[in-house]
Amino acid sequence: MNKTKHALFSYSFIFPSALLTLVLGIYPIAWAFRYMFYDYKGFGTARFTGLANFSRILKDTQFWDSVVNTFVYAGGKLLITIPLALLLAAILNRGLRGRQLLRGIFFMPTVISTAVMAVVFFTIFNSYNGILNQFLIRSGLSDSGVDWLGPKYAMLTVILVAAWGAVGNYMLLFLAGLQNIPEDVYEASSLDGAGKIQQFRYITLPMLGPVMQMVIMLAIITALKGYESIMVLTEGGPVGKTEVMFLYLYKLFFPVGGGSAAVQVQEFGYGSAVAFVSAVIVGMISLIYFYASRRMNQTD
């Protein structure tokens, strides 16, 4: 096959997905990009307002609170998820009986829809008749239960739920990484007298570097963008305690609540600007991480 034909052949395969990406991926972004500079409520005429949306963002304490909440949420989720996923992967990588079954069990939460998972957790954590509080009260551990979704513990609760949903996924990626480490390296090290902990510290961790870098990167981006389970569990409440960046953004496009007679005002223009700023924040964090973590790549 000559070169032109080969190229044509390749492009014919790329074309459909490139077209879909263009229509469903690039076009909406360009659309939002344009409306960042407009006052647009979803209908009627869009009014050009220049940088007004951005100066509003600077003053928007609700947005900046949500940014702080996002960092707390993402940080908490990572602190629980990554070590736990690594630990589980390391255990399941050993010749444990029934490990196939255990892998399936740990991976299962990843398959369940986030909204369904959050509904289930709501029945566990809700304060007035949740399973957890009923257990605490009936076993005498607490008099009136704990307000799991109240102002004090809501963030902790949403972090725990998010970690539960994510850990299986990262465990699987770590497992794949672990299985790529040749067995003879371990054999050689044990002949030299290295113990399990030393092996983990000096062989497993460094050789898992590239996988680890990718997993953490993925985890950071996912955690910064996550909001679905929070929406079901608390809707960002109480009083914004669990409102993360992308939930705040979602509500600008699709306002929730408000009761029967309240007319909801969608803010497509301001929402687009907030979306852009949020994307820049996620991008910046990812870049910072990427440069800081290049060391992990050096496996030698």
Instruction: Give the binding site for another protein (CB under 8 A).
Output: 1, 5, 8-9, 12-13, 15-16, 19-20, 23, 39, 41-44, 47, 56, 59-62, 122, 126-129, 144-145, 147, 149-151, 154, 233-235, 237-240, 254, 256-265, 267, 270
Closest CB to another protein among 145 and 209?
A: 145
DSSP state of 40: -
- Nearest distance from C-beta of residue 48 to another protein, angstroms: 11
- Nearest distance from C-beta of residue 218 to another protein, angstroms: 27
Q: How many C-beta atoms lie closer than 10 Å to residue 258's C-beta?
A: 10
For 22, phi then psi, to 5°, come to -65, -45
CA atoms within 13 A on the CB side of 104: 4
- Nearest distance from C-beta of residue 214 to another protein, angstroms: 30
Taking the C-alpha atoms of residue 45 and residue 10, their distance in angstroms, rounded to an integer, is: 43
Query: What is the identity of the amino acid at 160?
Result: L
SS3 266: coil
Taking the C-alpha atoms of residue 52 and residue 35, their distance in angstroms, rounded to an integer, is: 12
Closest CB to another protein among 158 and 166?
A: 158
Closest CB to another protein among 140 and 193?
A: 140
Closest CB to another protein among 69 and 81?
A: 69
Q: Do 66 and 244 meet the contact criterion of CB atoms below 8 Å apart?
A: yes
β-sheet bridge partners, residue 77: none
- Nearest distance from C-beta of residue 16 to another protein, angstroms: 4
Closest CB to another protein among 200 and 253?
A: 253
- Nearest distance from C-beta of residue 239 to another protein, angstroms: 4
